[in-house]
Amino acid sequence: MKEVTRHQALSLSSSTVAFAACFASWTLFSILGVEIRDQLQLNYTQFALLLVAPILTGALARLPSGILADIYGGRRIMFLQMLLVGAAMLLYPLATTYTHYLLYGMVIGLAGGTFAAGITFVSAWHDRDRQGTAMGIFGAGDAGAAITNLVAPMAVISFGSDKVPLIYGLVMLFTAFAFLLVSSEDPLHRQQRKIDRPLKEELRPLGELRVWRFGLYYFFAFGGFLALALWLPQFYVTQYGLSLKTASFVTLLFTVPAAIVRALGGWFADHFGARTINWMVFWVCLVCLFFLSYPPTTMTIHGIDRDLSLHIYTPIWLFTGLIFIMGVAMGFGKASVYRLIYDYYPRHIGAVGGAVGLIGALGGFSLLLLFGLANDLTGICTSCFMLLYGVLAGCMILMHYAIKQDQFRLRLAQAEADEFLTL
């Protein structure tokens, strides 16, 4: 096993910090959105639309970002995206209406697209046996959501909600130039720069069903994480009566583990197999979601002599414990998916990784929107977890049969190769 060089270490660390800054900006509306909701008197559906606006553009930007990274280099594309987002954040004080906030959110959502460029850049720097670990470390930039949960509420109290995006914008611009100065162009791209690979060749793997199955994995592992990271602060405020500051701090028990263990999840995927880790993640989450889905309930049992009343309620400590376990599991799941991508498509990390990242981010978008709709339609506070439970169960069933079909095709191909099917 080769030693990690200085350029590898600097490029990995600087890109991880840069992605953390991007992720922090991408999820900023989880804090600002609560202020805007109270200011404009929004319902749950309108509030959900506000939260998903950045997620939508971040999702849609991932595929073209990954393709451009394959062609021009992940370092260059990531830097340009950060410049654009940083400049846009300085314009936040101009927003005054609900439409303005939606449009603004869609612009800063481009920060989420940096993942595809960054993962391409990081992957090119490392050998096959370190791919899961390296991409897991980079993916730990998800901790940007935790940074926002920790810093943004205090910044809102200290400086006001109008000033916070300005601070974020200046930090983004500084981080972008620091990343450009500290990192180096990966040697793989320098070698490939002279090779004219047509766009059709870049997109060829996207026609394979396997890519979209990986996207399904990521739909829950990352999409579910993103949706919950944005939804949980207001859930704690509404359901448990916490202040926004306290709710944001408690949400750290979900976002921090999910980010930190992503690097560990990559290491486990390198050593024990990505598919094994995926299935372990899904079963753990399925159990947690079963208990999280149960709403506060009062039942009356008619006894022989008297009625008995039962009150079933998930206390905040148990709820937070289950959320913590889910955060750890999702951190493992996010890392293992990208290890799978490298195993099958090492020369198309940008395009395939971008497509899978797009599906995952669209999961965050669609799930957040459905969370708001479910709350408005059912009036049940835990309907978001019921929805996630159903999504995960459906994904697991589809993936089970898809894998069985792939295994059958492999056996059939092997039989034909061995001439077992010829007369």
* 67 to 119, 311, 344, 355, 415: CA distances (angstroms): 12, 54, 17, 9, 37
Question: Within a domain: residue 114?
Answer: yes
Question: Within a domain: residue 78?
Answer: yes
> What pLDDT shows up at residue 1?
42
Question: Within a domain: residue 358?
Answer: yes
Question: Within a domain: residue 126?
Answer: yes
Residues written for the chain: 423
> What pLDDT shows up at residue 269?
75
> What pLDDT shows up at residue 83?
92
Total domains in the chain come to 1
Question: Within a domain: residue 422?
Answer: no
Question: Within a domain: residue 374?
Answer: yes
Q: Is 310 helix (H, G, I), strand (E, B) or coil?
A: strand
Helix (H) or strand (E) holding 113: none
Residue 127 lies in domain: 6-193+200-417
- The rounded average pLDDT for each run of 10 residues, N- to C-terminus, in the chain (423 residues) is 64 85 84 80 80 82 81 84 89 83 86 82 73 75 79 81 86 91 70 55 71 84 84 86 83 83 75 78 91 81 77 85 91 80 74 79 81 83 88 82 76 73 48
Read off the CATH number of the domain in which 378 is found. 1.20.1250.20
Task: Find the angle CA(231)-CA(362)-CA(13) to the nearest 5 degrees.
Answer: 80
> What pLDDT shows up at residue 323?
92
Question: Within a domain: residue 412?
Answer: yes
To the nearest 10°, the Cα dihedral for 171, 356, 204, 190?
30
Question: Within a domain: residue 25?
Answer: yes
Query: Is the CB of residue 89 less than 8 Å from the CB of residue 323?
Result: no
Best CA proximity match to 361, nearest among 90, 66, 68, 85: 66
